[in-house]
Amino acid sequence: MSEISKSFAGLAEREGALVAYVMGGDPDPDACSKVIDAVVAGGADILELGIPFSDPIADGKSIQAAAVRALSAGTTPRRVLELAKNAKEKHHVPVALMTYFNIFYSQGFENFLRLAKSHGVDGIIIPDLPLDEASRYARISRRVGVDNILLAAPTTPAGRMRMLASNTSGFLYLVSILGVTGARRSLRRGTLTLIADAHRYTRDKVPLAVGFGISAPEHVREVIRAGADGVIVGSSIVDRVADYRENKRAKVLQNVEEYVRSLKAATRG
């Protein structure tokens, strides 16, 4: 059983997992390490660490801006791996990398995956790697011992949802809305129906985690009640990090920790 799978399996009855996204190197690598500390202190069960990319097609303005800040600070994929290694050694929290396929392809998929594994990475999320092209890379991921976490969309038909549930590992990432990442004020009624439908295919196979648009404790509670095994929150964390300045550092880190703690509390009903 992978570290990510163990994290889900170790939760109390009726408790959901909180997957917290942090853009690697935002606002700079040293400050990002402190942000990770705050996220874990707040109770995140799994850390999703982004590798900044110049063309993040699945991301909204908050995460795009975070990527710009990170790249401007000189963040490289290798530096993000160092952040992952530090987080794993310091906090023993499962770490999943989120980035785009070009990062892996340009460095050699298996070579980079092995390097990631040696830095404590437990899973990868590649939004622009569709199921039709994922089988070869999933085999490599299994051989290396890293979960290849696939994504399902609101428009995913039943047959394809079944295939995704059978081929993903760690968890199935259910995108709750059409469009890009970004905090929303409320959940759409269709999102809860989507979760219930997807859960029919993941039940007793793999955990179901829901992301995109989740930004408040009440969203978390609704998603868990609808049948999800976990929630993924990113843009609202990134928005708080955007205020990071040397003279505001302590306040921002406290804000991040308290916000994550409120989300984690909501996973327990």
Tell me the catalytic residues: 48, 59
Cα 76 to chain centroid distance, Å, stands at: 19
Structure tokens at 42: 């707040």
For 248, other C-beta atoms within 10 Å of its C-beta total 11
Alpha carbon of 149 to those of 88, 223, 246: distances in Å?
A: 19, 19, 36
**Residue 187, SS3 per DSSP:** coil
CA 40-43-47 angle, to 5 degrees, is: 50
Write down the residue that tokens 């949802």 correspond to: 161
Question: What is the rounded CA–CA span in Å between residue 212 and residue 206?
Answer: 19
Torsion of Cα atoms, 41 then 45 then 46 then 50, to 10°: -40
Residue type, 155: T
Structure tokens at 54: 């110049």
Question: What is the rounded CA–CA span in Å between residue 88 and residue 67?
Answer: 22
Alpha carbon of 34 to those of 66, 131, 254: distances in Å?
A: 16, 35, 11
